[in-house]
Amino acid sequence: MTPHPTTPALPLGDDALILSHRLGEWAGNAPVLEEEVALANIALDLLGQARILLSLAGDEDELAYLREERHFRNVQLVEQPNGDFAHTIARQLYFSTYQELLYDHLATTDTPLTPLAGKAVKETAYHRDHATQWTLRLGDGTDESHTRMQRALDALWRFTGELFDPVDGLDDVPWQTLRDEWTTRITSTLERATLTVPEGPRHGAWTAGGGRQGLHTEPFGRLLAEMQHLHRSHPGATW
């Protein structure tokens, strides 16, 4: 395989690709039919973003199906297993809030990603709204849903620090400002949902991070094995 491109389209494309894959696992398993539609809708938006971004970096299928785990640049948050519906919603809330802030910024600056960001930020606003509404329903719903939602937010908290590690090639992004704004928005949503902002470090050598350097969590290898198996079994075939 050719050397891996260093464009920032690759890490952002990997984020969208892997989260889309996880959401695709919900098909046929959602708690209500409306969520079958909504989760597939979000997955499709993300897959669309991934295809554009990966195409900016090279051949979309070669990049998706023929790289190994150590060459994927997505953050560890998006590769986390779906868990229960609360875990999926917590992951969506953390990630879509980040993605909306980042794309909002990229849409207004002049980079090769600007046209994509302009389109994607509209989709991402919908994803964030969807996650916010469910966070409110689950947080301020029943005792059980409150407990589950808090547990999910706590469990995924340590994967959020990595979101603000500077991405190579996106040097003009004010990462610290995005991080502060992200924290403000998440705090406000969780307060409205009667939930508590998790405590503990979000970043550090002993917590999560490293996805951007190709260091992933254990479930990721199995995700790739499933995703790539058929494509790799027929080298050179077109589909």
Partner 1 sequence: MTTIAPEDTGQEALFDATIAADERIEPRDWMPDDYRASLVRQIAQHAHSEIIGMQPEANWITRAPSLRRKAILMAKVQDEAGHGLYLYSAAETLGTGRDELLDKLHTGRQKYSSIFNYPTLTWADVGAIGWLVDGAAITNQVPLCRCSYGPYARAMVRICKEESFHQRQGYELLLTLSRGTEAQHAMAQDAIDRWWWPSLMMFGPPDDESAHSAQSMAWKIKRHSNDELRQRFVDICVPQAETLGLTLPDPDLRWNEERGHWDFGPIDWTEFREVLKGNGPCNDERIGRRRRAHQEGAWVREAAAAHAAKHPAHPPHAGTDQEEAAR
Instruction: Kindly list the residues in this chain that would bind partner 1 in the complex (CB under 8 A).
Output: 17, 21, 24-25, 27-38, 40-41, 43-44, 47-48, 50-51, 54, 60-61, 64-65, 84-85, 126, 129-130, 133, 136-138, 140-142, 144-145, 148, 226-227, 229-231, 234, 236-239
Nearer to partner 1 by Cβ, of 127 and 202: the residue is 127
Nearer to partner 1 by Cβ, of 70 and 122: the residue is 122
**Smallest distance, partner 1 to C-beta of residue 175, A:** 28
Nearer to partner 1 by Cβ, of 4 and 137: the residue is 137
**Smallest distance, partner 1 to C-beta of residue 9, A:** 14
**Smallest distance, partner 1 to C-beta of residue 218, A:** 18
| CB contact burial 92-102 (16+ within 10 A = b; e otherwise) | bbbbbbbbbbb
Report the Cα 218 to chain-centroid distance in Å. Answer: 17
Nearer to partner 1 by Cβ, of 83 and 214: the residue is 83
**Smallest distance, partner 1 to C-beta of residue 165, A:** 26
Q: Give how far Cα 109 sits from Cα of 60, 66, 115, 194, Å.
A: 25, 32, 10, 36
Nearest to 18 by CA among 123, 129, 95: 95
Q: Is the backbone of residue 74 left (phi > 0), alpha (psi -120 to 50) or beta?
A: beta
Nearer to partner 1 by Cβ, of 200 and 236: the residue is 236
**Smallest distance, partner 1 to C-beta of residue 57, A:** 13
Q: What angle do CA 202, 205, 208 make, to 5 degrees?
A: 50
**Smallest distance, partner 1 to C-beta of residue 84, A:** 8
Nearer to partner 1 by Cβ, of 25 and 181: the residue is 25
- The 10 Å Cβ neighbour count of residue 105 is 20
Measured CA to CA, the distance from residue 49 to residue 20 in angstroms comes to 10
Q: Give how far Cα 67 sits from Cα of 12, 13, 49, 53, 238, Å.
A: 16, 13, 19, 16, 18
